[in-house]
């Protein structure tokens, strides 16, 4: 199979979906690997490194899309890439389909097959912890006075009050945020709905300045926070929120909401995704940081984890084709988003209120 790796075009996205080590393995297995020139440069990988691994370098994304059957990416298909799409394509990337109706429309119109990588991680996304670690760091920066923050240092000095951080959601992202905050000595109040997550967190950080609460207690702690991190994975079909627009009146005017989850219509009603080019906006007088590709800021590290995590599934798709690969691997099937003009990803169908074919039904029918 011809496997294409275009350079990411989303602002601030330096990750690359395949490193030379994986390219060499695929070439060894008699696949052709086509990589866009400079696709790996922000991740410290040169064109020569890919060429040494047996990949063929191409000058433009357009050439990659024209030549390859399987396209491997990090972020969603951007409008500048729409014209390059073909019905024969299998696209394996973080589609984030529910949030992106226009992209889904385009994929259905073209009739290509898309698999959402974010749904296929058996052990959680390898970049979740990075998003928490880097997002936490960025949130602390926004507490500094020149950025509109409270001007409290994140450590206790001279008896002055230190900054107070809330972390909501204690899964992969939340644990990453705690790692940055608690290792720096920041005082944290953490919240989760799940008693298991709360207990695990308390055990792991027992000697740290950490208090852990059930989510029902969040409202009592909003007013004193300098920075609030949202790390909850919010179900796309929920129409309520943890922090509603009206709740922002309770917050200090110098506080900042760092919505690492930044789900559309998610836990924070007023959040909308931003990019590293313009990461912060103000709503109801409160700063919101909602970059939806935070690990893109540390591409050397993030690419290593992402490319490794995707690789087994890339190989499976290259060997069996997209649909048989989905039949073989249930996690891959969970990400099947669309094929031949049919929407399959339930979450996108429900969120966008349009018909979809459940994946089991589609795979059964497609084999008949």
- The nearer residue to ligand NAD, 144 or 276, going by C-beta atoms, is 276
The interface region with ligand NAD, picked from 73-81, 120-128, 148-156, 310-318 by CB under 6 A, is 120-128
- The nearer residue to ligand NAD, 31 or 287, going by C-beta atoms, is 287
Cα angle 283-288-289, degrees, rounded to a multiple of 5: 155
126 sits near ligand NAD (criterion: CB under 6 A): no
The interface region with ligand NAD, picked from 65-73, 245-253, 260-268, 300-308 by CB under 6 A, is 260-268
Of 215, 222, 320, 346, the one binding ligand NAD by CB under 6 A: 215
In sequence order, what DSSP letters do the residues of 113-160 get, joined into one string? EEEEGGG--TT--TTHHHHHHHHHHHHHHTTSGGGTS----SS-BTTB
Kindly tell me the number of DSSP H helices and DSSP E strands found in the chain. 12, 15
201 sits near ligand NAD (criterion: CB under 6 A): no
User: Which residue number has the CB closest to ligand NAD?
Assistant: 171
C-alpha 184/C-alpha 180 separation (Å) is 6
Of 24, 57, 233, 316, the one binding ligand NAD by CB under 6 A: 233
Roughly how many angstroms between the first and final C-alpha of the chain, as a whole number? 24
- The nearer residue to ligand NAD, 241 or 327, going by C-beta atoms, is 241
Q: Are 74 and 16 a contacting pair, CB within 8 Å?
A: yes
Burial 286-320 (b: 16+ CB within 10 A, else e): bbbbbbbbbbbbbbebbbbbbbebbbebbbbbbee
125 sits near ligand NAD (criterion: CB under 6 A): yes
Question: Closest approach of Cβ 97 to ligand NAD, in Å?
Answer: 12
The interface region with ligand NAD, picked from 18-26, 227-235, 247-255, 344-352 by CB under 6 A, is 227-235
CA nearest 36: which of 183, 23, 147?
23
265 sits near ligand NAD (criterion: CB under 6 A): no
Q: Are 155 and 188 a contacting pair, CB within 8 Å?
A: no
Question: Closest approach of Cβ 311 to ligand NAD, in Å?
Answer: 19
169 sits near ligand NAD (criterion: CB under 6 A): yes
74 sits near ligand NAD (criterion: CB under 6 A): no
Cα angle 90-1-22, degrees, rounded to a multiple of 5: 90
Of 21, 78, 162, 193, the one binding ligand NAD by CB under 6 A: 193
43 sits near ligand NAD (criterion: CB under 6 A): no
Number of residues this chain uses to bind ligand NAD (CB under 6 A)? 31
The interface region with ligand NAD, picked from 67-75, 85-93, 189-197, 244-252 by CB under 6 A, is 189-197
231 sits near ligand NAD (criterion: CB under 6 A): yes
In sequence order, what DSSP letters do the residues of 163-179 get, joined into one string? PEEEEE--SHHHHHHHH
Residue ranges binding ligand NAD (CB under 6 A): 124-125, 127-128, 131, 168-174, 191-194, 197, 215, 231-233, 242, 260-263, 291-295
């Amino acid at each position: 199979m011809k496997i294409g790796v275009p350079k990411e075009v989303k602002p601030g996205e330096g990750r690359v979906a395949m490193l030379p080590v994986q390219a060499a393995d695929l070439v060894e297995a008699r696949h052709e690997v086509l990589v866009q020139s400079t696709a790996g440069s922000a991740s410290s990988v040169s064109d020569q490194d890919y060429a040494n691994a047996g990949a063929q370098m191409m000058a433009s994304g357009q050439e990659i899309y024209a030549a390859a059957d399987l396209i491997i990416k990090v972020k969603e298909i951007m409008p500048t890439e729409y014209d390059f799409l073909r019905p024969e394509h299998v696209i394996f990337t973080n589609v984030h389909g529910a949030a992106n109706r226009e992209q889904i429309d385009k994929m259905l119109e073209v009739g290509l097959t898309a698999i959402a990588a974010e749904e296929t991680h058996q052990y959680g996304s390898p970049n979740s912890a990075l998003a928490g670690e880097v997002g936490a760091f960025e949130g602390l920066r926004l507490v500094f006075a020149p950025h509109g923050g409270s001007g409290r240092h994140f450590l206790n000095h001279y008896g002055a009050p230190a900054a107070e951080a809330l972390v909501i959601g204690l899964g992969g992202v939340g644990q990453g945020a705690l790692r940055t905050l608690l290792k720096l000595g920041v005082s944290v109040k953490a919240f989760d709905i799940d008693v298991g997550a709360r207990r695990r967190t308390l055990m792991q950080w027992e000697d740290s300045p950490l208090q852990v609460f059930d989510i029902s207690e969040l409202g009592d702690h909003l007013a004193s926070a300098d920075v609030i991190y949202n790390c909850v994975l919010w179900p796309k079909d929920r129409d309520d929120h943890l922090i509603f627009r009206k709740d922002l009146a309770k917050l200090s005017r110098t506080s900042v909401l760092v919505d690492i989850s930044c789900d559309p219509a998610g836990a924070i009603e007023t959040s909308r995704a931003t990019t590293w080019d313009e990461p912060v906006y103000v709503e109801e007088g409160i700063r919101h940081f909602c970059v939806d590709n935070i690990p893109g800021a540390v591409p050397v590290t993030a690419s290593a984890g992402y490319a490794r995590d995707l690789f087994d599934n890339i190989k499976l798709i290259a060997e069996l084709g997209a649909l048989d690969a989905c039949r073989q691997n249930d996690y891959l099937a969970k990400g099947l988003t669309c094929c031949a003009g049919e929407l399959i990803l339930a979450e996108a169908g429900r969120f966008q209120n349009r018909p979809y074919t459940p994946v089991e039904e589609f795979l059964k029918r497609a084999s008949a």
